[in-house]
Amino acid sequence: MKKVTLIGSGNLATRLSLAMSATGQFAFQQVYSHTPEHASDLANRLQCTWTTDAKAIRPGADLYIFALKDTALENIAAQVPANNGLWIHTAGSMPMEVFRPYASRYGVLYPLQTFSKQREVNFRQIPLFLESNSTESAALLQEVASLLSDNVRFLSSEKRKNLHLAAVFACNFTNHLYALAGEILEEAGIPFDVLLPLIDETAAKVHDLSPRRAQTGPAVRYDENVIGKQLAMLTDAQTREIYRLLSQSIHQKSQES
């Protein structure tokens, strides 16, 4: 059993710690969160103690997992009393070296997935991207990651930034397009769920075809008649600009190769 202290209680902290707990291979020691309700809720589920004071984080754990907003990470890391555990963070866009002033053994475990507290995900299929400051840390990190997922590899901080940026496009921006589509349907009194087979097929298609080959619709055909009519239907200026820009980008990219 590896002893774990969790620093953070957000979406990722919640889903990662519960997945770790479910393997039966990790014993949680302590949960830190600046919000007492969040710290105590998650500590209850992980059967451990909690604190809202980063300076009260105890030594003795094998792993210190920092799952925090980027803006909080360095500030909190600076407050944690020195210890001999392996410190890891889970952030796509933060370099591993953020830990250098505060710890001797450190690394990164970045899960490429979208997490919500209320939704369980199957960790075994999530790609985990690892980085560590020594061979010894690499071995421990690999061991921990392999207990969680079948899809584990090492990647530098520099390349992890690309991964995070790609994920913003493929997940956060995509989800926002679902939201905008839902608003358009709502205006016509049509329920969102009529879109689900289309959303599912759009995702499934790129398992077999490259996104470029999978593309269909008025923009790639450059059907100016439809594009013009659809632009005119959009009453929100910002949504209209999104439509215009994405249609233009689809058309340009389709001409490139």
Nearer to a copy of itself, 79 or 151 (CB): 151
Q: Number of C-alpha atoms within 13 angstroms, CB side, residue 56?
A: 10
Angle of CA points 247, 114, 246, to nearest 5°? 5
**40, 49, 114, 157: which one contacts a copy of itself (CB under 8 A)?**
114
User: CB within 8 A of 94, min separation 6: which ones?
Assistant: 70, 73, 108, 157
User: CB within 8 A of 105, min separation 6: which ones?
Assistant: 84, 85, 86, 87, 133, 134, 136, 137
Binding of a copy of itself at residue 255 (CB under 8 A)? Answer: no
Nearest approach in angstroms of CB 97 to a copy of itself is 15
Candidates 18-26, 60-68, 138-146, 206-214: pick the segment binding a copy of itself (CB under 8 A).
Answer: 206-214
Q: Number of C-alpha atoms within 13 angstroms, CB side, residue 239?
A: 16
According to DSSP, residue 211 is labeled H
Contact between 34 and 9 (Cβ < 8 Å):
no
Q: What are phi and psi of 69, to 5 degrees?
A: -55, 145
Candidates 47-55, 81-89, 96-104, 214-222: pick the segment binding a copy of itself (CB under 8 A).
Answer: 214-222
Nearer to a copy of itself, 22 or 165 (CB): 165
Q: Restricting to residues 19-58, which ones interact with a copy of itself according to CB under 8 A?
A: none
**Residue 164, class by beta-carbon neighbours within 10 Å (0-12 exposed, 13-18 middle, 19+ buried)?**
middle
Nearer to a copy of itself, 41 or 74 (CB): 74
Q: 3-state DSSP call for residue 150?
A: coil
Write each residue from 60 to 99 as x if it is in contact with a copy of itself (CB under 8 A), else as -, in one continuous string: ---------xxx---------------------x------
Nearest approach in angstroms of CB 59 to a copy of itself is 30
Nearest approach in angstroms of CB 255 to a copy of itself is 13
What stretches of 7-69 show up as alpha helix (H) in DSSP? 11-22, 36-46
Site for a copy of itself (CB under 8 A): how many residues?
Answer: 96
Nearest approach in angstroms of CB 65 to a copy of itself is 18
Nearer to a copy of itself, 55 or 119 (CB): 119
Binding of a copy of itself at residue 237 (CB under 8 A)? Answer: no
**Host H or E run for residue 26:** strand 26-32
Write each residue from 179 to 198 as x if it is in contact with a copy of itself (CB under 8 A), else as -, in one continuous string: xxxx-xx-xxxx-x-xxxxx
Q: Restricting to residues 125-184, which ones interact with a copy of itself according to CB under 8 A?
A: 125-127, 151, 155, 158-159, 161-182, 184
